[in-house]
Structure 1
Amino acid sequence: MFYFAFDGAEHFYGDPEPAPGARVSFVPDKLYAARKRRTGRPVDRQLVHDDGLLVNEIAMDVSMWPSSLWRVADLEPMRPGPERRWVRCRAFTVVEQVPAWLAAGPHGEAVEWVMTQARALSSAQAEALAAQSDEGEAALTRTLWTRWSPQYNGCSPVGWALTALQEVVTEAARRVGPHLFGPDEDDEVEVLCDPAWLRAWSAAYAAALALGAPGFLAPEENARLARRWTTVFGSPDLPGR
């Protein structure tokens, strides 16, 4: 089984857009045009080894939070490659759309719930999250990661969702104002540095792990790890919960 993650037309270098039954083909000119927009300079119209349509064998290997996720088949690989769980394709056939939250694993719907709340995070909610005790949170997080690491290959117990979650919290903070940010002297960029918002981010991180990877801790431990988030936002009303 293979998956193609769609993240809007700007990052889609194929034609037509995914739809059930469509035969999607890689269009190099779309890739060249996107590179030119990003750099503002003429680009080398040559393909390199990792160009093409990226397809993942495992949904959790998708390295972004997709706007839509598609199961695909009949791959036309660009060239033979090493034994990996992804392939760059000239073309594939779309079989069906599947829930985007599968990128975070079998409990990804709960991670999507955390992501939705985080995307609209307000100053009042950030302050409410920050005001609560996080006692035991760090220890439980370490335990979860320790139990996961020896058994699994991948970015995290919830795929790349933690990276996406950090991005949406940062975007929410930017909507509030630039006073929440400060310079990172090493990278010379502006980063989120407000203490309350950083504690809000850590609460979102803990909740995503507790709700999205519940098999590594006891139920009462998962509840404690997610408590700051669920105290402010309630519990997700999801099937099976």
Structure 2
Amino acid sequence: MFYFAFDGAEHFYGDREPAPGVRVSFVPDKLAVARERRTGRPVQLQLVHADGMMVNEIAMDVAMWPSSLWRVTDLERMGPWPQSRWVRCRAFTVVEQVPAWLAAGPHGDAVEWVMNRARALTAAQAEALAAQSDEAEEALNRTLWARWLRENTTCSPVGWALTALQEVVTESARRVGPHLFGPDEDDEVEIEVLDDPAWLRAWTAAYAAALALGAPGFLTPEENAQLAHRWTTVFGTPDLPDR
């Protein structure tokens, strides 16, 4: 089973957008235009195996929070990829759309619930999250990660969702105002990063909730409830199917 993650037309280098039954083909000119836009100079594209459209064998390997996720088949591969769980394709056929939250695993709908609330996070909610005690979070996070890493070496228990979650919290903070940001002292390039203490605590609350709700098998139910406590105190619990 293979998956293609669609993230909007700007990052799509195919001839037809995904839909059930559609044969999607790679358009090198679209990739060349995108590279020219990023670099600001003309690009003479010489296709290699690392080009083409990326397709993942496992949904959790998708390195983004996709706007839509598609199951695909009949892959025309760019080249051999021994011992890898992804390939670059010249073409594939779309079978069906599947929930985008599968990129965060079998409990990704709970992670999506956290993501949606983080995307609309307000100053008052950030302050409320910051005011809650996080006494047990650090130890529980360490325990969860240690158990995950016993059998896994890449990504996270919820795929790449933690990176996307940090991005949406930052976007919410930017809507509130620039006073929540400051220079990154560890980077030689001058960039502004989120440095407001309350909003940073709100981010760690979202992080903890995503792990507790999205990867519940690594802790006991009581520990998961404790890990997600700050988030669920402010937002309640998700009304999702039991598994």
Q: TM-score range by the shorter chain?
A: over 0.9
1:225 to 217, 224, 227: 227
Q: Is the 8 A contact 1:122 1:172 kept in 2?
A: yes
Identity among equivalent pairs (%) = 83
Q: What residue in structure 1 maps to residue 203 of structure 2?
A: 201
Structure 1 residue runs without a partner (length 5+)? none
AA partner of residue 220 (structure 1): E
Aligned-pair CA distance for 1:83: 1.5
TM-score, normalisation: structure 1: 0.98
Give runs of aligned pairs for residues 23-62 of structure 1, distance below 5 A.
Answer: 23-62=23-62
Equivalence for 1:126: 126
Alignment map for 1:176-215 (pairs within 5 Å): 176-187=176-187, 188-215=190-217
Q: What displacement does 1:48 show?
A: 3.1
Deviations 1:139-163 (A, max 9, x none): 0000000111011243000000000
Deviations 1:38-83 (A, max 9, x none): 2221112222331100000000000000000000001010011221
Classify the secondary structure of the residue corresponding to 1:134. coil
1:194-230 deviations in Å (ceiling 9; x for gaps)? 0000000000000000000000000010000001000
- Cα offset for 1:7? 0.2
TM-score (norm 2): 0.97
User: Which residue identity does 1:27 align to in structure 2?
Assistant: V
Contact 1:61 1:154 in 2 (8 A): no
Gapped runs of 5+ residues in structure 2?
none
Structure 1 distance, partners of 2:123, 2:36, is 38
Length, aligned pairs only: 241
Q: Distance in 2 between matches of 1:186 and 1:50?
A: 31
- The 3-state SS of whatever aligns with 1:24 is strand
SS at match of 2:169: helix
Q: Distance in 2 between matches of 1:57 and 1:47?
A: 22
Runs of 4+ aligned structure 1 residues displaced above 4 Å come to none
Q: AA paired with 1:207?
A: A
Cα distance in 1 for residues equivalent to 2:154 and 2:2 = 16
Contact between 1:77 and 1:91, CA under 8 Å: does it hold in 2? Answer: yes
User: Which secondary structure does the structure 2 equivalent of 1:88 belong to?
Assistant: strand
Aligned to 1:15: 15
